[in-house]
Structure 1
Amino acid sequence: MFTSDKKEVMDIRNGKKRRKVSVDVRDYRRSTAEKMKRDSGKVLRCLTVEDNNHTEPMEEEEDDRCFSITFLRNDRLEPATVVSPRYNLIREVGRGSYGVVYEAIARKTGARVAVKRLQCDAPENVELALAEFWALTSLENRHQNVVQLEECVLQRNGLAQKMSHGNKRSKQYLRLVETSLKGERIIGYPEEPCYLWFVMEFCEGGDLNQYVLSRRPDPLTNKSFMRQLTSAVAFLHKNSIVHRDLKPDNILISLKSGSPLLKVADFGLSKVCAGLNCKNSEEKPGAVGRGSNQNNIININKFWLSSACGSDFYMAPEVWEGHYTAKADIFALGIIIWAMIERITFIDAESKRELLGTYIRQGTEIVPVGEALLENPKMVLHIPQKARSSMSEGVKKLLQDMLAVNPQDRPDAFQLEVRMDQVTCVT
């Protein structure tokens, strides 16, 4: 049964006091940033592994500036193999509660990549890291609006191993899974440093907040972004992935093609719903059927999730209660699109950044839309919010449906994709 570990604290946002609720029972927001060194001068060295069942021991220099990889076969070390670095880390470009992201250069091709280092020093951090790994590696096909994972390397106790999904012959991988499932450090294992390194495509345009708020309003760009976002979510839901933390921070911009291309990223809170059951997961799967206009695929909206997690300004009403489906992603997308079109922002209390996000004013407080609807399900949302908004009637009606209190009244991701194409094509 879901139990909520809610704490109330007072934050200052836009000079107003409001209640901020921490609702994640596993305390996903525990910060480990102070434990991480600023090591943007590091070099990541990784030797291509033909067989994912081989473990590669790694000798670190005293100043911890590089990896040096050899092979470990049948639990016996073989002579070290000297290799040139695969990636040069140039600079730190982002830092979260449990990971650091660097801009890097692939030595062989000269291509820029993003290298994300996740510190697996606690069960909740291991769970976040594995959730992102499982989500990205479960995708058999690529999508232009979902960030692409190139490879993942596990580093632990002087050993490095290129990771593959479900590699049951890797003791290091199984140890991580056991740590996550038990929710505690495994007794008898030394508490050696452990990291997962994700090598992903680099998005030079920053996140959606930075891109939108640094430019003049552009209706054509808004329409393009709306179509791209709905396409990405439809792709994820078709592949049985609920993102659960859609927000402008987690939407990156690639400028490689000449025009801005959105990339949904950060799958640390995501959930892969296919193949799960009540015994070994938090899901409560219902009937399996067809997903809207898709044939022979699992209807992801029949899977019930119970961990109330995410970012409060984008959370659907049912997420606050801890009983929700993939329709929660649709609600978050509605908040993002509404805020993007009308440039509705707030000042984040922790980062002091101006962020895109819609909210409800209640006296001197600003309250997340989902929380306000939970408290008052009959509340009518005033869309558009601004008197001189250029929002069309079609977009207005679509946003109202996406932000419906009852998730059954919201379109699913496939219906949304069709309707979004219709409303954004109207001149």
Structure 2
Amino acid sequence: MALSKAVQCDFSKPWSGNIEFEKTDVLGRGGFGVVYRGTYNGEIIAVKRIILENVDPLNREVMLQTQLDHVNVLKILTVEQSSDFRYIVLELCTGTLEQLCDGTYVGAELPSDAKILLQITKGLRYIHSQKLVHRDIKPENILFSDKTMPVLVKLSDFGLSKQLSTNDTCTMSGFKGSQLWMPAELLMLTDNSLQMSVLFEAKGSPSSDIFATGCVTFYYVTRGIHPFGSGAIDVPKNIRKNKPVNIEQGDPGLNFLLDIAREMIKFNPKERLGLDKVLEKLRSRQRLSYTCKTPEFHVRAKLCNQPVPDNKVTTCVFHPIDPVLAVGFHDGSVVLIANETDDPLFLNWDRETLSAVHDHLPNAFALINMEWNINGTLLAASTDKGSVILWTYQNKQILFDSVQNGDGVANIFWSPFATHLFVANFRLETRRRARRDSGRKGGLLVWNGAIEEEETVETKLRTTYYIRDVAWISDVEVALACHDGIIRIFTIMNGTSLSASHKQLPHVGEVGVVAWNERAQMLASGSSEGTVKVWKKDGTQISLRYEFNAKASCLSLSWYPCSEANTSCAVMDASKNHLIACGLGSGCITVWKPELESIPTTFLAHNQMVHDVSFSPNGQLLAAIGADDNLHIWSTNSWEEIGIFEMKKEGPNRRKISWDSTSQRLTTASELTKIIVVESIAGVD
């Protein structure tokens, strides 16, 4: 959601006398004002003084910057005005990226280059998510704040920023920004010989900010070398001609960061590396620093203060990319615990509240399940009354809200093939409830966010059987594990409609769990009678290929993560690609490679049933949580147990494991007032 144009700052706030500064204590000078070190209500701040005749009549800098709220965006604390000047009070920073590159920075010790670039990217991605283009990214506008440690990066100076249109461009009324950091499509605006059709195409857009950030990244990593040369004349000329004359400069040991910069400064805007990809590359380097050595894990218990006393954690799940944990509570509220500073300790992560479910539903329904979509742009949650709610990650707004008439339980199953598609299973029960088993009925909800608004975005299928689990086996096919002993394969037609006819795969006993392996094109299933089957998909045909008797009910399944689907984890063992782990009702874990038709390896993990079993994203670890509240972690290299952790819990609900993207943290709902995370951070106790 874009920033509201209706929101206005009180620009006429009169001079109060609470802003104090010495005219000799100058922090910086710009074309429109001077920045001084000063105090405001006793707090040390920076104050930008602008002559009134130089104030932007649109009040762009103040209006936009006061509405932005991100740890990597400089905050405006207040704005006051006298008869001659406007005074903008800002967070005080200790230096700039330019000072670091020219050797004049004297502030606190900075994080690594990769972490600095990570913060710059996160700040700019947030700005773009608010439908803004900065238009003046340069080393002087990237600041360092040591108010908290480690040092934070702050993007500043929004005097040239502009709102984006619906097609993610903004008009360029005149020449804006510094030519040294401007892409060719904007430098064309200074060429009066160009035809109007060419100028029309040269609009400001997020890709122009990406180009500038790529140049700044190269300049920062090389400590002062611009990729397109030197000098106010040569640099713009080389940018126009697509001649990055210094592109091969830099320490070969920093090629990882320099390669990112090179991909961001492509001549064609459509070929520039997007910010999401930049973040993924930067974080992948952090994951690869997590070596194959046996990690040491520790339990962290974080109290998450809630307005409702004794509010209990009912579900939690890590973001698939960002260091963010979504936590759902018994009263229907949701909190995001985010690591905005790349602090290694979970205890130091900060919180941010999402819209509470009970603000939008007639009753305070407890959240029981939450899942992110494949790229983490959407968060879906289900309640104990069968309702499904969907939030956008960037804007924290509710996008979808479905209230079921029954009082069944819904679980969310996002498509791994599309960002906009999920299904949810639920149980329909009458008020008297057929407390007799024969009365059990269920259903399936399909939601597709890619459908045009005037069309239906959801479809509900009512069934005479209860759907226990769902696995996506293609971009339009779902496998349903049903309590009547049948796996049903449905095709999603026209966005949300389910095919009238469907394939049926017979099982022995109630089918409780299904899991799909995309690389092997195999579907694994487990039943209450202990039968584990593996089905092979060949085109439109699915046939039974392998099976074994686990001698106990199979409650959870986890395939070893495919290396091709997770290229950031270079340490993965391709020989384990078709390995599957089964969590059993007897408390045992069975590890099996079906294609070898070998005898599965079984080891006792719990003295009660296994709730969930899960491989880490990099494949180095296997974790299992049981009804005995113990979390076990094994190394997949040696199959030695790394540790057993007591995960205290109240309530009878089954628990699900959630790993973070680095494979260094995992969590599960506690139904306590604390969030419990098990993490392994090198060198940190």
- The TM-score range, normalised by the shorter chain, is 0.5 to 0.7
Q: Give 1:309's aligned residue.
A: 176
Correspondent of 1:422 among 266, 279, 284: 284
Give the 3 Å change call, closer, same or farther, for CA 310–373 of structure 1 in structure 2.
same
Please give the per-residue CA displacement for 1:249-299, whole angstroms capped at 9, x wherever unaligned. Answer: 1111111223221111111111122xxxxxxxxxxx454xxxxxxxxxxxx
In the aligned structure 2, how far is the partner of 1:54 from the partner of 1:101? Answer: 19
Correspondent of 2:252 among 382, 386, 389: 389
Structure number with larger C-alpha Rg: 2
Q: Give 1:207's aligned residue.
A: 96
The question of 1:89 aligning with 2:21 is answered yes
* Per-residue deviation, 1:331: 0.6
Give the 3 Å change call, closer, same or farther, for CA 198–54 of structure 1 in structure 2.
closer
Q: Give 1:132's aligned residue.
A: 61
Q: Give 1:296's aligned residue.
A: none
* Per-residue deviation, 1:134: 1.9
SS at match of 2:254: coil
Contact 1:120 1:129 in 2 (8 A): no
* Per-residue deviation, 1:129: 7.5
Q: Give 1:239's aligned residue.
A: 130
* Per-residue deviation, 1:234: 0.3
Contact 2:228 2:247 in 1 (8 A): no
Contact 2:36 2:48 in 1 (8 A): yes
What letter matches 2:273 in structure 1? P
Correspondent of 1:372 among 238, 241, 255: 238
Contact 2:221 2:257 in 1 (8 A): no
Give the 3 Å change call, closer, same or farther, for CA 331–232 of structure 1 in structure 2.
same
Q: In structure 1, list runs of 5 or more residues that go unmatched.
A: 1-51, 59-66, 70-84, 157-192, 274-284, 288-299, 346-356
Identity of aligned residues (%): 25
Correspondent of 2:44 among 107, 112, 125: 112
What letter matches 1:389 in structure 2? P
Q: Give 1:101's aligned residue.
A: 35
In the aligned structure 1, how far is the partner of 2:215 from the partner of 2:10? Answer: 44
Give the 3 Å change call, closer, same or farther, for CA 211–390 of structure 1 in structure 2.
same
Q: In structure 2, list runs of 5 or more residues that go unmatched.
A: 1-8, 190-201, 290-685
* Per-residue deviation, 1:55: 6.5
**Residues 265-304 of structure 1: matches in 2 within 5 Å?**
265-273=156-164, 285=165, 287=167, 300=168, 302-304=169-171
In the aligned structure 1, how far is the partner of 2:29 from the partner of 2:170? Answer: 32
In the aligned structure 1, how far is the partner of 2:58 from the partner of 2:288? Answer: 42
The question of 1:407 aligning with 2:269 is answered yes
In the aligned structure 2, how far is the partner of 1:146 from the partner of 1:267? Answer: 10
Contact 1:381 1:400 in 2 (8 A): no
SS at match of 1:405: coil
Please give the per-residue CA displacement for 1:157-202, whole angstroms capped at 9, x wherever unaligned. Answer: xxxxxxxxxxxxxxxxxxxxxxxxxxxxxxxxxxxx3x22111111
The number of aligned residues is 264
Please give the per-residue CA displacement for 1:388-412, whole angstroms capped at 9, x wherever unaligned. Answer: 43223x4343222200001011133
Q: Give 1:224's aligned residue.
A: 115
Correspondent of 1:262 among 149, 153, 168: 153
In the aligned structure 1, how far is the partner of 2:45 from the partner of 2:58? Answer: 19
Q: Give 1:352's aligned residue.
A: none
Q: Give 1:344's aligned residue.
A: 224
In the aligned structure 2, how far is the partner of 1:422 from the partner of 1:381? Answer: 29
Please give the per-residue CA displacement for 1:308-363, whole angstroms capped at 9, x wherever unaligned. Answer: 32112111111101313221111111111111111134xxxxxxxxxxx44326xx
* Per-residue deviation, 1:130: 1.6
SS at match of 2:136: coil
Contact 2:66 2:75 in 1 (8 A): no
Give the 3 Å change call, closer, same or farther, for CA 214–103 of structure 1 in structure 2.
closer
In the aligned structure 1, how far is the partner of 2:166 from the partner of 2:278? Answer: 22
In the aligned structure 2, how far is the partner of 1:423 from the partner of 1:383? Answer: 22
What letter matches 1:136 in structure 2? Q
What letter matches 1:151 in structure 2? T
In the aligned structure 2, how far is the partner of 1:53 from the partner of 1:421? Answer: 40
Q: What is the TM-score with the length of structure 2 in the denominator?
A: 0.35
* Per-residue deviation, 1:248: 0.9
Contact 1:154 1:197 in 2 (8 A): yes
SS at match of 1:401: helix
In the aligned structure 2, how far is the partner of 1:93 from the partner of 1:206? Answer: 9
Q: Whose relative contact order is higher, 1 or 2, with alpha carbons under 8 Å and at least 6 apart?
A: 1
**Residues 165-180 of structure 1: matches in 2 within 5 Å?**
none
Give the 3 Å change call, closer, same or farther, for CA 380–245 of structure 1 in structure 2.
closer
Q: Give 2:427's aligned residue.
A: none
Give the 3 Å change call, closer, same or farther, for CA 106–383 of structure 1 in structure 2.
same
In the aligned structure 2, how far is the partner of 1:247 from the partner of 1:54? Answer: 27
Give the 3 Å change call, closer, same or farther, for CA 327–365 of structure 1 in structure 2.
closer
What letter matches 1:198 in structure 2? I
* Per-residue deviation, 1:126: 2.7
Give the 3 Å change call, closer, same or farther, for CA 425–383 of structure 1 in structure 2.
farther
* Per-residue deviation, 1:224: 1.2
What letter matches 1:318 in structure 2? E
Contact 1:98 1:118 in 2 (8 A): yes
Q: Give the structure with the higher percent helix.
A: 1
* Per-residue deviation, 1:137: 2.4
Q: Give the structure with the higher percent strand.
A: 2
* Per-residue deviation, 1:214: 4.2
Q: Give 2:72's aligned residue.
A: 145
Contact 1:228 1:262 in 2 (8 A): yes
